[in-house]
Amino acid sequence: MNTDWSILWGEAGWSILTGLNFTLKLAICSLILAVSIGFAMGTLRWIGWRWAEPICWFFVEFSRNTPPVVQILFWYFSASYILPQPLFIALRDFGYEMGAAVIALSIYHGAFFSEVVRAGLNAIPRGQLEAARALGLGLGQALRRVLYPQALRILVPPLVNEATSLVKNTSLAMAIGVTELTYQYRSIDNFLFRGLEALTAVTVIYFILCLLMAGIGNLVQARLSRHIHARSATVAAGSGLS
Amino acid sequence: MSNWERVWTLANWQRLLFGDLFTRGQLGGIALTLTIGLLAILGSTLIGAIVGLMRNSPRRSLNVPAMIYVQAFRNVPLLILVFWAYFVPPALGFQISKFMSVLIALTLFTGAYIAEIVHGGIKSVAPANIEAGRALGLAGYQIHTKIVLPQAFFNMLPALAGRYVVSIKNTSLAFLIGLTDLTEIGKQIGARLMTAPLEVYLTLLIIYFVVNRAISALVRLLEDRKRFNRLFLRI
């Protein structure tokens, strides 16, 4: 077979870049929403209010156990029955494909994030919360100043894993016609018959995106735990055990 | 007639379960989803076990290729892998069926994740176990098969269950290259009725939910130490 890599510097290259633009927008919007859902839901489940527990359990289990593509299709085709009409009309004028993909991906990954957050909070000894409450901090203050900072340190690697899988799952939005990277590859294959070149380019872009996420995760992790290393080094030096 | 009655007819359920098996002889629906899913689970567990063991080996000639495989397949969306397996082989001159391309892509993708789980599982076994085995005079392969792997496998079960559920969910990508799996049948039913998308897609979500809960419940049965020992260690 003959390949012509120069097409990537022409129109095809531009359409891949616009695809990247949409992929990034989709990823960032759903990442912000998913992390918020995750923290809210995870904290709610960790607190364990009796009336909230079954609802949260059902939400998390239902969205974790169903395929993201079907969720995207569900939100795309049946949103007009579920969403309040003014919201739906606003989203429709804006271009509803993107909205459906963002809603579905943030709910799907929000469920995973909430499990991660709950596990992180559970890993902190209960005494920390009790001590914070005993010092007169409210529940919100105790969470913000005592529990989250400690939990985040443990949470960064799983959170980054989840975020990477969210970025990968944005490729599913092509099922409803969001013009992101994978969609652009399909259209280049259909109109220019240069599938292999476009597919290679798109694969490399996804690969670089995922590696970047992992790199950022490592940086954040190092930054969050730098004073721990410093402290343990001083403790070790002071005790003469180093 | 309500929308639910229109969706939940006998003919529709038959199609959701078996696809067009009885009319056109093509397997589809839940049967196809489960076939792809279970074959991919078997294949990826095999690949994952081999690659995970390779990653743990001290030899560079073994652990470097294993690491490259894991990084290459974990950092790319599964959909892209499916497209590689489906659109590229014909361009290079050999034919591949839709079923095979989805199966290959899913197996390689899940295999990379399972390799990481196996790698972590083996590392989770305390090194004193290996030293004890060596002190008892066991050979290297005996230490692995009798001491390290059974414990590692037990530790890996929760992560494996999660991965198996994900790979059943991922079979739903098959509809994007035109295989009549559960999602595609659902889409067809929805397109034919036109008026009941909410009911159709809720039905799909419920079916996937039930299937996946059943699979994770099956793996959870093994998380009982006594049952696990009886099945795998004959103790």
Surface of A (198-217) touching B: CB under 8 A: 199, 202-203, 206-207, 210-211
Interface test with A, best of B177, B201, B203, B209 (most A CBs within 10 A): B201
The one-letter amino acid code at A106 reads S
d(CA B201, CA B207): 10
Minimal Cβ distance to A70: which of B72, B75, B172:
B172
Is residue B79 within 8 Å of A67, Cβ to Cβ? no
Is residue A199 within 8 Å of B83, Cβ to Cβ? yes
B68 in reach of chain A (CB within 8 A) = no
**Which residues sit opposite B29 in a β-bridge?**
B181
pLDDT in tens, A32-52: 999 999 999 999 999 888 888
Q: Tell me which residue of B75, B80, B48, B110 sits closest to A160, measured CA to CA.
A: B75
pLDDT band with cut points at 50, 70 and 90 for residue A241: very low
Surface of B (122-181) touching A: CB under 8 A: 165, 169-173, 175-176
d(CA B117, CA B133): 24
A-chain residue closest to B196, CA distance? A78
Is residue A179 within 8 Å of A16, Cβ to Cβ? no
Beta-carbon neighbour count of residue A153 at 10 Å?
Answer: 15
B76 in reach of chain A (CB within 8 A) = yes
ipTM for this prediction: 0.90
Domains in chain B (CATH in brackets) are 3-233 (1.10.3720.10)
Q: Is B164 exposed, middle or buried (0-12, 13-18, 19+ CB in 10 A)?
A: buried
pLDDT for B94 beyond 80: yes
3-state secondary structure of B180: coil
Q: At what angle do helices B29-56 and B182-193 cross, to 10 degrees?
A: 150
% of chain A at pLDDT higher than 70: 94
Q: At what angle do helices A148-169 and A195-224 cross, to 10 degrees?
A: 180
Q: How far from chain centre, in Å, is Cα A114?
A: 11
B-chain residue closest to A77, CA distance? B197
d(CA B92, CA B89): 5
Six token digits for residue A165: 């899988």
Minimal Cβ distance to A66: which of B78, B198, B209:
B209
% of chain A at pLDDT higher than 90: 55
In this prediction, residue B214 carries a pLDDT of 92
The residue written with tokens 């490399």 in the block is A204
Minimal Cβ distance to A67: which of B83, B87, B172:
B172
**Which residues sit opposite B181 in a β-bridge?**
B29
C-beta atoms of A199 and B80 within 8 A: yes
Contacts of A1 in chain B (CB under 8 A): 91-93
In this prediction, residue A1 carries a pLDDT of 65
Q: What domain range is A81 assigned to?
A: 5-238
pLDDT in tens, B127-137: 898 899 999 99
C-beta atoms of A67 and B84 within 8 A: no
Six token digits for residue B167: 């790979």
Q: Tell me which residue of B211, B176, B179 sits closest to B30, measured CA to CA.
A: B211
Six token digits for residue B17: 């379960």
C-beta atoms of A210 and B75 within 8 A: yes
Is residue A173 within 8 Å of A101, Cβ to Cβ? yes
Distance between start and end Cα atoms, chain A: 63
For A97-101, what is the mean pLDDT?
91
d(CA B107, CA B82): 10
Number of domains within chain A: 1
- CATH code for position A51: 1.10.3720.10
Q: What is the pTM of this model?
A: 0.90
User: Counting one residue from A and one from B, how many pairs have CB atoms under 8 Å apart?
Assistant: 105
A164 in reach of chain B (CB within 8 A) = yes
- DSSP 8-state code for residue B57: S
Is residue B153 within 8 Å of B87, Cβ to Cβ? no
pLDDT for B155 beyond 50: yes
For A108-115, what is the mean pLDDT?
95
